[in-house]
Structure 1
Amino acid sequence: MRQMIDEPLERLRAAARRTRELASNRAGTGLGHEDADDDVGTIGTDGALGFDPFPLLEALHRHGVRAVVIGQVAGIMHGSAELTGDLDLLWDGLPAHAPALAAAFASVGARLTDEAGDPVATRPDAFLRPKVRFTSPGAGGDCCTPALPWGGLQVRECLDGAITAVGAGGLEVHYVSRADLIRMRRALGRPKDLRRADELINGW
Structure 2
Amino acid sequence: MIDEPLERLRAAVRRTRELALNRASTGLGHQDADDDVGTIGTDGALGFDPFPLLEALHRNGVRGVVIGQVAGIMHGSTELTGDLDLLWDGAPAHAPALAAAFTSVNAQLIDDKGDPVAMHPHSFLRPKVQFTSPGAGGDCCTPALPWGDLRAREFLERAITAVDPGGLEVHYVSREDLIRMRRAIGRPKDLRRADELDSFASARLARLDGGPRDGRWGGAGGG
TM-score band by shorter chain is over 0.9
1:73 is aligned with what amino acid?
Answer: V
Instruction: Report what 1:97 is aligned to.
Output: 94
The DSSP-based 3-state class of the residue aligned with 1:182 is helix
| CA radius of gyration, larger in | 2
State which of 60, 63, 67 in structure 1 corresponds to 2:64.
67
Equivalent runs, 1:39-78 vs 2, <5 Å = 39-78=36-75
Alpha-carbon distance between aligned partners in 1 of 2:78 and 2:22, rounded to the nearest angstrom:
20
Equivalent runs, 1:1-204 vs 2, <5 Å = 6-203=3-200, 204=203
> What is the root-mean-square deviation in Å for CA atoms of aligned residues?
1.2
Q: Is the 8 A contact 1:151 1:188 kept in 2?
A: no
Instruction: Report what 2:217 is aligned to.
Output: none
Alpha-carbon distance between aligned partners in 1 of 2:83 and 2:184, rounded to the nearest angstrom:
20
- Which structure is higher in strand share? 1
- Indicate the percent of aligned positions where both proteins have the same amino acid: 83
Alpha-carbon distance between aligned partners in 2 of 1:71 and 1:110, rounded to the nearest angstrom:
19
- What are the Cα deviations for residues 41-78 of structure 1, in whole angstroms up to 9, with x where unaligned? 00000000000000000000000000000000000000
TM-score (norm 2): 0.88
Structure 1: 5+ residue runs without aligned partners? none
Shift of 1:25: 2.7
Alpha-carbon distance between aligned partners in 1 of 2:182 and 2:16, rounded to the nearest angstrom:
22
Consecutive aligned runs of 4 or more in structure 1 exceeding 4 Å deviation: none
1:29 is aligned with what amino acid?
Answer: T
TM-score (norm 1): 0.96
